Structure 1
């Protein structure tokens, strides 16, 4: 599982760098920080979700998904909106 998650994450970063280079966009430091924090929280959520389900703790999985997974998605959405709005201005 971790090999697949690492492979997907690496491919997403490669795609992101190529897209930014092709469109001649640069992200600010706080956009990188928010994005990497959101991605780390999302990967942490996925790991704990699988672990909780493997131990037959579905309530713990649901609570972790709510309290950590939702903020990770919010951080990723904020990062996307900041970058999109700044790209629209330019």
Structure 2
């Protein structure tokens, strides 16, 4: 995988998002369980895999495979990220 502007922007957004997340956790004194972090990490990985699959498959000019494969990864990824946000907000003291 080469370093393209797409991945530079995605990395910057993830880093800024993590900074905001940890600031929110510190401000609200939230104490999430250890498994909540696993949900977030797996969800983020699945979303990144969906983006990579879509970009790579579109470069190979297979649009149907790109959409179907990306949907296969992004749906569970978004569900896990939603569960992560829900459990994180529920862990406020």
TM-score by length of 2: 0.86
Structure 2 distance, partners of 1:20, 1:85, is 12
Cα root mean square deviation, aligned:
1.2
Partner residue in 2 for 1:83: 88
Return 5+ residue gaps in structure 1 as ranges. none
TM-score (norm 1): 0.88
Which segments of 5 or more consecutive residues in structure 2 lack a partner in the other structure? 1-5
In 1, Cα distance between equivalents of 2:70 and 2:43: 13
Q: Deviations over 1:9-37 (max 9, x none)?
A: 11110010001101111221110000011
Off by >6 Å, runs of 4+ in structure 1 = none
- 1:1-90 alignment, distance < 5 Å: 1-87=6-92, 90=93
